[in-house]
Structure 1
Amino acid sequence: MSDRRDFIKKAALGTIGISTIIGCKEGPKEETVAATNESLAQVQRKPVIISTWKHGFPANEAAWKTLTGGGTGIDAVEAGVRVSEGDPKERSVGYGGLPDREGKVTLDACIMDSDSNCGSVAFLQGIKHPISVARKVMEETPHVMLVGQGALNFALSKGFKEENLLTPESEKDWKKWLEKSKYKPVINIENHDTISMLALDENGNLSGACTTSGAAWKLHGRVGDSPIIGAGLFLDNEVGAAAATGLGEAVIRTAGSAMVVEQMRMGKSPEEACKIIVERIFEKHKNHKDMEYLQVGFIAVNKNGEYGGYSLRSGFNYAVCDAEKGNRMEDASFKMTWDEK
C-alpha cells in the first residue's frame, strides 16, 4: 500500500513547479521551474533550512540571510544558532541558559559539514557562542571534540571573550529550585531545550549544528547528546541529515541521529525515519526510570529537500524555511500525549 501511495505522490508532484525566493520573510516569488515526471528524480527542493522549536524561527531567518547572501551551508547554520545562543530569553541555550545544580551554566555544541568534517565542545563555561568554538575545533585542530577547561583555553587562544553567562533571571530560578532540589527535566514546548539546525544549500550540500546549555539542574559535569556526533547531530551528504532534541541520555543510548540517517539511506522519508527511531527509543525505555518525563524529538532532511520531524510525546514543533512557503512553524507528529503511559 505504501508503494502505491508513494507512486501516486510522485506522479502528482510531477505536475507542479518549484518556487525560489530571495528571503524567507518575503514569501514566494513568481519564479518557477517546471518539474516533469522524467526529471523529478533529479529535482531538489533547495535550499531548505529546518530547526527545532519556536526559537528556530528567528534562527532560520539569520541562516537564510546568510545562505542566500553568498554564505556556505556551514556559515548559515552557525549564524542561525548563534541567534539563540546570544538571546538571554532562551533559557536552554547559551547566554541566560538555566544552570546546573551548582549554579554553573555549562554549554555543549557541535557542527558538521558536507565533507563529514565536524567539531564539538562540551562542558564549556564562560563563552557565549560555543557553536563558533566548535567550528574552530573542526577547522583549526586535528580533533573532533574538546571539553571543559581545555575547550575554554582553546576558545580564549582564538580570541573568544570569557564572560558570565548566568543572568539574574536564571540565577533567581536556580535559587528557587534549590529550595526543593527536585530533578525532573520535563522537556517540551513550554520548557524546550537545544536548538538543532539542518541546511541543504543551493548546491545540494548538507550542513548541521546543535547547541544547548543542557538539562537544567543537572549534575556538574553532565554532558548530553548535543555535542556528540551521531547522537545529537549526524549527516551523510549522499543521504541526508538529522538532529535531536529532548532527553539527551535516551538519544545517546540509541545513537539517535545517526540511526535516522541510516533509515533514510534505506529509503525511508525523513518523517518515517524519525518515527522509526522514536519508536525504537520508546521500546528501549518504556520500563525505564526516565519514562515519566521522557521526551525525544528528531528533525531530518534528505538530499531531495524533503523534511520531517517526529516526537515521542505531543508538543514538539520545528521551524522550516524554504523557497516554496517561506519561514513557518510546523507541529511534529507524535506517538503519544503526555497523559498516556
Structure 2
Amino acid sequence: MFPRSRTPVQDPHCDMHVSTIVFCTLISLGTGSLPIVINTWPFTNATAKAWSVLESGGSRLDAVEEGCSVCEVERCDGSVGYGGSPNEDGETTLDAMIMDGVTHDVGSVGCLKRVKSAISVARKVMEHTTQTLLVGDDATRFAVDMGFHEESLQTDQSRTEWEEWKAKNCQPNYWRDVVPDSAKYCGPYHLPGELSDSKDSSHSLVKGNHDTIGMIVIDNNGDVAGGTSTNGLTYKIPGRVGDSPIAGAGAYVDNDVGGAAATGDGDTMMRFLPTYQIVESMRMGMDPQTAAENVIKRIAKYYPNFEGGVIAVNKTGHFGGACHGLNVTYSVRNQELNAVKVFQAVEV
C-alpha cells in the first residue's frame, strides 16, 4: 500500500459517493489523491494493471507502458491493438506515444506495421534514441532491431470488415475533391480538373471509431507520465498518422502541472494541440475540469460537428473530463477509490 496523500473535494453534482461506481454529470475537480491512474474510456483492466504496477513498486513509465499494453492485447473496443481499424488496403497499423513529465522525453511511433506492441516500441524510441517519432516501415525495422517480433496485424475479422467495405464502394472514406467521386466509388483517386472550395466531405465518416487509450499516471512522489495507443481510424488513407503519437495532441504531461489525454477525431483535434493547451491552462490556475471544457469549446468553435473528448489531472490528483459529439467516459483509480471507477465526461 501507498502512504496516503489526500486533498478531498466534495462534488455537489454527483448523486453517488465515490466509493461506488460513478456516472456523474459533472466531476468538477474529482477527488484529489495520489497516486492516481486515469485513462480514456471504460478500459478498466488497463487502469487496474497500471495501478498494480505502482502498488508493486514499479515506475510511472512502467505503469503507463503495461497499462496501455493490456489494451493492445485485449484489443479494447477494436480501436487499440492488432486486428482492428483496417486501412484502405486492409492493413492494420498502430500509433503510440509515451512521455515522461520529469524529463520531457518522448518516444512515439506512427503507422507502425506488423508489430503488435506499439507502446513498448515507443518506449524504446524514447530510451534508446535521441529521436522522438518514427513512422511506417522504418519504425517496424527499428522495432525488429530492438527485438520485437514481426507478424501480420490482420485477423479474419478485420479482413472480413475490409472486404465488406470494398463491396459497398468503399463507403465511407476520407477523400474529397477527387475523381472518381469518392462519395460513390472506390479509388485509386486523382486530382480533378478544378478543385472546389468545400471544407468538409459531403459523405459521412465512420462513427464509433475513436476509442484511443490515453493514460496519465502520477506516482506517490507526484511525478507524472503519460501514454497513448491506437490503431487509428477505420478505412483511413494508407500512411495516415493521427493525433495519438503527437506530444501535445494525443497526450501531454508536465511534472510541474499534471497531464492530459485526448480521444476522438484526431485529424481535427491535433490542429489545436488540446492536451498541451489543457496543461498550460492548469499551469495558469484553471482546475482540470474547466481546462478540459475550455479546450473542447475552442475546437467546437471551428468544427461544431467534430467528435472527441479529453481528460485532465493536476499535480494534486484532481481530475476532470469533457467531450463534444461523442459520449466519452474515463476510468480512474486512486487511494480514495477502492476499485477502478468509470466517470462520465461533461458534454460541451
Q: Could you tell me the TM-score, scaled by structure 2's length?
A: 0.80
CA distance in 2 between partners of 1:313 and 1:198 (Å): 23
Partner of 2:34, secondary structure, is coil
Structure of higher RCO (CA pairs closer than 8 Å, 6+ residues apart): 2
Q: Please name the residue that 1:92 is paired with.
A: 79
Q: 1:215 aligned to 2:233? A: yes
Distance 1:130 1:95 in 2: 10
- Contact 2:262–2:274 (8 Å) recurs in 1: yes
Residues 206 and 234 in structure 2, CA contact (< 8 A), matched pair in contact too: no
Amino acid at match of 1:334: E
Quote how far apart the aligned CAs of 1:88 are.
Answer: 4.0
Query: Where do 4+ consecutive residues of structure 1 move more than 3 Å?
Result: 10-13, 184-188
Q: Which moved more, 1:83-92 or 1:130-139?
A: 83-92
State the distance in 2 between where 1:275 and 1:44 align: 19
Which residue does 2:285 correspond to in 1?
Answer: 267
Between the aligned partners of 1:12 and 1:232, the Cα distance in structure 2 is 28
- Once residues 332 and 223 of structure 2 are traced to their aligned partners in structure 1, the CA distance between those partners, rounded to angstroms, is 17
Output one character per residue of 1:122-154: Cα deviation in whole Å (capped at 9) or x when no partner: 111011111000000000001011111211111
Render the CA deviation track for 1:278-303: whole Å, top value 9, x for unaligned.
Answer: 000000213xxxx2xx2110011100
Range moving further from structure 2, 81-90 or 109-118: 81-90
Aligned letter for 1:327? V
> Is 1:179 paired with 2:174?
no
1:34 aligns to what? none
Q: Are 1:248 and 2:266 counterparts?
A: yes
SS in 2 for 1:100: coil
2:346 maps to 1:329 = no
1:39 corresponds to which residue?
Answer: none
* Counterpart residue type for residue 315 of structure 2: K
**Change over 3 Å in CA distance of 1:235–1:12 after alignment to 2:** closer
Q: What letter corresponds to residue 330 of structure 2 in structure 1?
A: Y
Segments of structure 2 that go 5 or more residues without pairing to the other structure are: 1-6, 11-18, 22-30, 174-203
Q: Are residues 11 and 77 of structure 1, via their aligned partners in 2, closer, same or farther at CA, if it must alter by over 3 Å?
A: closer
Per the alignment, residue 127 of structure 2 pairs with 139
Once the two structures are aligned, what percentage of the paired residues are identical?
42
Superposed CA RMSD in Å reads 2.1
Q: Does 1:309 align with 2:324?
A: no
Aligned residues: 291
| Residue 195 in structure 1 maps to residue 213 in structure 2 | yes
Q: Distance in 1 between matches of 2:271 and 2:48?
A: 33
Instruction: Give the alignment's TM-score, normalised by structure 1.
Output: 0.81
Indicate the residue corresponding to 2:95 in structure 1. Answer: 108
Contact preservation (8 Å) 2:257, 2:283: yes
Q: Is the 1:93–1:211 Cα contact (8 Å) retained in structure 2?
A: yes
- 1:72 paired with 2:84, answer no
> How far apart are 1:314 and its partner, in Å?
4.6
How many Å separate the matches in 1 of 2:237 and 2:94? Answer: 13
State how far apart, in whole Å, the 2-side matches of 1:59 and 1:11 are.
25
Q: 1:246 to 1:87 in 2, by over 3 A?
A: same
Map 1:40-51 → 2, pairs under 5 A:
45-51=33-39
- SS of structure 1 residue aligned to 2:90: coil
The residue matched to 1:230 in structure 2 has which SS?
coil
**Unpaired segments of 5 or more residues in structure 1?**
1-9, 14-24, 28-42, 336-341
Q: Shift in Å at residue 165 of structure 1?
A: 1.1
Q: Alpha-carbon deviation of 1:249?
A: 1.1
1:90–1:96 contact (8 Å) kept in structure 2? no
1:298 aligns with 2:310: yes
Contact 1:320 1:328 in 2 (8 A): yes
